Copies of this chain bind each other. A is one copy, B any other.
Amino acid sequence: MEQRNYLQIPGPTNVPDRILKALSKPLVNHRGEQFKEIMVKSIEGLKEIFRTDNDILIFPSSGSGVLESSIVNLFSPGDTLLISSNGVFSERVALISETYGINVIRITKEWGQAIKPEDVRKELEKDTEKKIKAVCLPQNETTSAITNDIEGISRVIKERDHPALFLVDVISSLASLPLETDNWGIDVAIGASQKGLMLPPGMGIVTVSKKAWEAVENSKLPKWYWDYKAVKSKMESYQFPYTPPTSLFFGLVEAIDMIREEGLENIWDRHNQLARAVRAATVAMGLKIFSEKGYESDTVTAIVMPEGIDFPAFSKVIRTNYGVVLGGGLQKLSGKIFRIGHMGSISKTDIYAIMGAVEMSLYELGYAVELGTAAKAVSGVFLK
């Protein structure tokens, strides 16, 4: 039997039927009235989701594309940025910056450790000449399934009265973890379609503050496709400098409706509850959570591969027998951890089933666990 797929990688996430239907609507003229209406709704909805009054800019791109956009639009060769390096995606921003001739001060941590407000404070204190033009880090680092304390870090930047811009990659936390773009003083928040927004990949989204626009004016890096000023000026008349991903906009309007129906804060709570259930089941089965205690992500959980079981075998059993697709470890974590994505369109029943599938698959591969352990732990969290 062809069964439903549980796509539990840390994004792209499962796209709900309502959105899949919207995606298959016949196309419209991206310069016409009908599309203008879609754009108005999209931008209004995104401002609610990002909690911002800043400008929203949209790109036909992956999340990494809009990460690059933030670097080439705000900075110049020779500028200095303070960038976290504790996983593939934080390090990616450092690499992109260096590609464009920018000096990078890395806050390097073991993968699995979070970036703390103290770490940022230390670096800003050292920067007596106020050379650092921006502090850049992800809210959620999917590589190691940790969540950085963005609110705390924002307070450090404010307290030190440092002029640095605050750039936050919210790709794997948007519409899943609490985010207050304006209250936390985030100058550029960088998101994408394929995670909490429950859409397929192909749409990158950034928010741009007044202070960030000033940096844009001073930036000397060349850009055309990513040019914030060109995109803003076109978007003001509900157009784009080039063809936008129209089908994804159909889906976005539907996603915004769904998010409003549930309520953004309820969505944050749901992600927290489901993540606690995943962690409870993990610990109950005698498995080890990879990420630093207190900083475990509520959108993805990284679990240490138990001794004697290898990831490809485990991944195959759980996919073949239970239709659950899990993420492996990336780069140096390959084979050492597995990752369960639990963001976007996901329910208590899904989590109950997924953790059961993890247990049964490990059991089949010889891991010693009493059947029913995961279910007991998961339901314990739900019914407490």
Contact = CB atoms under 8 A, between A and B. Distances in A.
Interface string A16-40: 0000110111111111100000000
B60 A201 contact: yes
Interface in A164-178: none
Nearest to A95: B224
Interface stretch (A3-11, A41-49, A112-120): A3-11
Contacts of A191: none
B223 A99 contact: yes
What are the nearest 6 A-B pairs in CB distance? Answer: A64-B242, A200-B247, A202-B245, A20-B24, A24-B24, A62-B242
B194 A243 contact: yes
B27 A245 contact: no
A207 B54 CA distance: 39
Contacts of A30: 12, 201
| Oligomer: number of copies | 2
Contacts of A363: none
Contact of A61 (B21, B60, B241): B60
Contact of A68 (B13, B20, B225, B327): B225
Contacts of A96: 224
Given A99-B222, A223-B99, A246 B200 contact: yes
A5 B245 CA distance: 19
